[in-house]
Amino acid sequence: MKKNVAQAMLGCFLFASWLSAQFSVNQLPQLGDYESERSSSYDRTGANGDYRNLRAGGELVLFDEHGPAEIRHIWITMADQEAYHLKKIVLRMYWDGEKTPSVEAPIGDFFGLGLGIPAIYHSLLLAVAPDKALNSYFPMPFRSSAKITVANEGSQDATDFYWNIDWVKLPSLSPDIAYFHAQYRQCTPCKGWYHGNFYGNDFSEARKDPRWKNVSGEGNYTFLEAAGDGQFVGVTLSVFQNQWGGWNEGDEMIWIDGEPAPRIHGTGGEDYFNGAWGFSQRFSFPLVGLTEFHGWEAGSTFSLYRWHMEAPVRFRKSLRVTIEDGHANLRSDNFFSVAYWYQKEPHAPFPQLPGVASRIPKIIFVGGPGQDPSMK
């Protein structure tokens, strides 16, 4: 009984923390200096066809408005029978008439579903509600114009595609306001250097290799390389393991403004995502979460998020955010990530978006524990 009461009290505390972080209650009596707006897929005829058909190979414009303004909330859901359609539909956002997007990611990855499988969770900035209701609460300011599109790179139509985008028209924006950015990256697989035995974390053979000591960050998986003036606010990461064991022994390393050594150097994957001693169960908190978790063997899957709301990582010239795949990058797993940050324009060119086939999570033969040579 005491255990159940304690768990209930913890749940109430966490919900209250999330609520107070998500909404500033003390500001509710203060009348805002803005005009409330919404852009949505509602049926303009007054009937109940409040959706659009996102055709295979086609594109929809979800938002095309003028500023100064700020998007406060995005809600999207869809009916699509194609497998991994969340990996095949691409979300893009453009601010103030820019030619290349400031946001580009498969729609599932943007909302923390990097394995293409719906999961239910809530966090301060992203939430997925039943059933496959995708929500973003990132503030997205723009000065003159904003455009949001979705492109279907799959082979089937998303026949019922719905959206509501809540935004506010503002009298002006401060010169210090930066623009929202989000960038997708992947490695399938990451290029690990060791394929011997590490059952039970027995790395005695690997320790003899000079690559066991990774001081330079060579071979690290890169979440983000940015140039300009801004701040990094977080990341979503999904992992599809190709080998037995755990990717989570890898440290995060963050270089700021071209410094020769990482100013921020962590102690391991689960530590960066604010867990400890590996992972044993899913969790969903305001700033950190593990929304998918299936063991530690080859074929195991993980989806995580981490928001740096307590202190976004500030950079004034450049930023490089990385993590090792296993200690010193000895592993060869599949990583899928989206980095989220704010900066003043212009932003550095994004890497080319990988093709659809390579975005689909699947086990890849890389050798080592848990791998069957017949998979070649």
Which is it for strands 133-136 and 126-129: parallel, antiparallel or unpaired? Answer: antiparallel
Reported confidence tier of residue 13, pLDDT bands at 50, 70, 90: very low
The whole-number pLDDT of residue 199 equals: 62
Find the mean pLDDT for residues 97-116: 98
Per-residue pLDDT tens over the stretch 172-202? 999 999 999 999 999 999 999 988 776 666 6
Query: In CATH terms, are 34-170 and 180-375 the same topology?
Result: yes
Give the per-residue pLDDT at 332: 95
* Cβ proximity of 166 and 73 under 8 Å: yes
Local confidence band at 19 (pLDDT 50, 70, 90 cut-offs): very low
pLDDT of amino acid 270: 95
Residues of the chain above pLDDT 70, percent: 91
- Amino acid 376: pLDDT: 62
> Mean of the pLDDT values across residues 21-34?
79
Sketch the domain layout of the chain as residue ranges.
34-170, 180-375
pLDDT tops 50 at residue 6: no
Task: State mean pLDDT over 63-67.
Answer: 97
The closest alpha carbon to 276, from 267, 285, 284, 264, belongs to 267
pLDDT at 375: 61
- CB-based contact 234:123 (threshold 8 Å): no
Q: CATH for 180-375? A: 2.60.120.1390
Does the pTM exceed 0.85? yes
Mean pLDDT of the chain: 91
Residue 253 token pair: 């390393």
At CA 274, angle to CA 342 and CA 265, rounded to 5? 70
Per-residue tokens: 351: 């890497």
Topology, domain 34-170: Jelly Rolls (2.60.120)
